[in-house]
Amino acid sequence: MASGKLRVAVIGAGAAGLCSAHHILSRPITFEPPIVFERTGQVGGTWVYTGELDPSTHTHSSMYRDLKTNLPKEIMEFPDFAFDQSLPSFIHHSEVLKYLEEYTDRFSIQPHIKFNTQVVSVTPVLGEGRDENVSWDVTSQTQDSGDPVTERFDAIMVCVGHYSHPFVPDIEGLKDFQGQVLHSHYYRYPEVFSSRSVVLLGAGPSGLDIALELSSHAKHVTLSHRGPSFQWKPPENLSFVPPLVRATSTSLICEDGTEIIADTLIFCTGYKYNYPFLLSDSKEELEYKENNEENPQLNVQLLCAKVDLLEDEDIVGTNVEQGHLLPLYKHLFHARYPTLGFIGACKIVVPFPFFHCQAQFFLSVLEGKCKLPPPEKMLVESREEVFEAQTSGIPLKYLHRLAGKQWEYNQWLANTARLEPLAPVLSKLYESTRSFRNLDPSLYRRLNFRILNREEFEVRGELPKYN
């Protein structure tokens, strides 16, 4: 660049994108102000509630009307920007959106956001140097103009989230089921299910929350899941069964043979990664198009000649939609082209502090303050991680699920790049919240927490004890 500064594109203006933009702006000596591409008209990403939906249309957010956070605000906040301390620990989703809007204003991010702008493609521009120095052409298109625009960047931070494209498993006979079928992505409020017999598949945070919310309105609620038995007392009209394996026109059948007469099935089965803009034209395809512009039949054949940046020819039987990204190094860098980063691709983490750590680490590498191994070594480590999971029988869809491992990972990022580490109290409060949720998911949000120092917190309130 003429200024000698690096130009970084941020894709998405949700929490991860806003965090990335903030940290770029905080390093004006090294970086030009970022360009943040946001396909909607506002910041917030998945925290923007969009009301009742038609499942035939696509929307980004999975928020339902009465959702409250399943983590206390004391550990959700960015380390350099606090929530309103007058709020309870578990807050309504609208308060999180308000927080992100205030974060945007506090760090003057909004002038750098291109709203209503869809990223169409991200294409590596290979120079004569090594792959780690690759630059990028980003082609975008606004809703107001039909003309795509291509801009050159030194690096890309992908921050599009992973809670907008539902994953629905195959259930034998589901096409014959006469009841309503939807994914939790489209669930908004319980009143529309009054007097219905509802079955939910999946007992993650959304599955449990929605099942409990529906129990106050539906005729009966059945939660189908594979995990261990729950130790808490459910409402009278909520029962638990093993995973569903088959459907008939009027019923759903579990793997132990239990048959449930139901008129509604809600899949709470998680989400797929979706990065269509990373499916880019290869050099050979571009040359082929130039030489065959007058032959539309040949150009149709080129649809199969795309290059997927999230594909590794040495890994067999993988599918990015099922929940793993290849080839990633440390869940963050594209191993072959490490100027392409994925902020927040991991699952089961405390998101905002996690984004804070990843964004700073990525920028430290671009600044030259932290050196990565050569791409060939990062590729080897990425592949070894996949092979180890396959050998251990771990489904590849769990490859980027960190859960308890997130704290060690965050500490590694901080130590390696010499960043301020997260306070140890965050991991302690995270584990405590998980224990309270396991005791009673219907009541744990009544608790309030207060962080005393970097190591200690206190709990206000108490859950009932069950025999």
Task: State whether 453 and 380 are in the same domain.
Answer: no
CB atoms within 10 A of CB 220: 18
pLDDT for 126? 84
Residue 200 pairs in a beta bridge with 223, 266
Are residues 321 and 446 located together in one domain of the fold? no
Question: How far is the C-alpha of 242 from the C-alpha of 250, rounded, in Å?
Answer: 18
Task: Kindly report the number of other CB atoms within 10 A of residue 303's CB atom.
Answer: 8
Quote the pLDDT of residue 397.
81
CA distance 222 to 215: 9
- pLDDT for position 440: 92
φ, ψ dihedrals at 68, nearest 5°: -115, 155
H/E stretch holding 140 = strand 135-142
Q: Judge if 355 and 412 occupy the same domain.
A: yes
Give the per-residue pLDDT at 132.
67
pLDDT category of residue 393 using cuts at 50, 70 and 90: confident
- Please give the mean pLDDT across all residues of the chain: 89
- The strand pair at 457-460 and 8-11 is best described as unpaired
Where is the domain boundary, 233, 248, 267? 267
- Does 61 reside within a domain? yes
Mean pLDDT for the stretch of residues 315-328? 63
pLDDT score of 389 more than 70:
yes
Q: 104: closest CA among 85, 88, 84, 81?
A: 81
- Please report whether residue 465 resides in a domain: no
Rounded Cα distance between 86 and 64, Å, is 24
The answer to whether position 138 is within a domain reads: yes
Are 190 and 45 contained in the same domain?
Answer: no
- Closest among 34, 151, 121 to 309, alpha carbons compared: 121
In a domain, 288, yes or no: no
Domain for residue 145, yes or no? yes
Q: Pick the range with the lowest mean pLDDT from 19-23, 153-157, 320-324, 397-401.
A: 320-324
Q: pTM of the full predicted structure?
A: 0.91
Q: Are 63 and 47 in contact (CB under 8 A)?
A: yes
89 and 115 belong to one structural domain: yes
One domain for residues 323 and 204: no
Q: Is 327 helix (H, G, I), strand (E, B) or coil?
A: coil
Tell me the pLDDT tens digit for each residue of 260-306. 999 999 999 999 899 999 875 444 444 434 444 444 333 333 222 34
User: Does 279 map to a domain?
Assistant: no
The predicted pLDDT at position 52 comes to 66
pLDDT per residue over 211-268, tens digit each? 999 999 999 999 999 988 898 999 999 999 999 999 999 999 999 999 999 999 999 9
The answer to whether the beta carbons of residues 268 and 201 sit under 8 Å apart is yes
Are the beta carbons of 22 and 79 closer than 8 angstroms?
no
Same domain, 149 and 57: yes
Helix axes 424-439, 406-417, angle to 10 degrees: 170
Residues 15 and 128 in one domain: yes
Question: Tell me, what CATH number does 202's domain have?
Answer: 3.50.50.60
DSSP annotation of 29 reads T
- C-alpha distances (whole Å) from 30 to each of 27, 135, 359, 464 are 6, 16, 15, 54
80 and 108 in a single domain? The answer is yes
* Number of separate domains in the chain: 3
**12 and 79 part of one domain:** yes
Alpha-helical (H) ranges within 320-405 are 351-367, 375-391
User: Quick check: is 287 in a domain?
Assistant: no
**CA 154, CA 31: separation in Å to the nearest integer?**
10
What is the distance between the alpha carbons of residues 284 and 52, in angstroms, rounded to a whole number? 45
What is the domain range of residue 217?
174-267
Say whether both 153 and 183 belong to one domain.
Answer: no
pLDDT of residue 168: 93
Tell me whether residue 283 is in a domain: no
Query: Do 26 and 147 share a domain, yes or no?
Result: yes
pLDDT by residue (tens digit) across 138-152?
A: 999 998 877 899 999
What is the rounded average pLDDT of the residues 31-55? 90
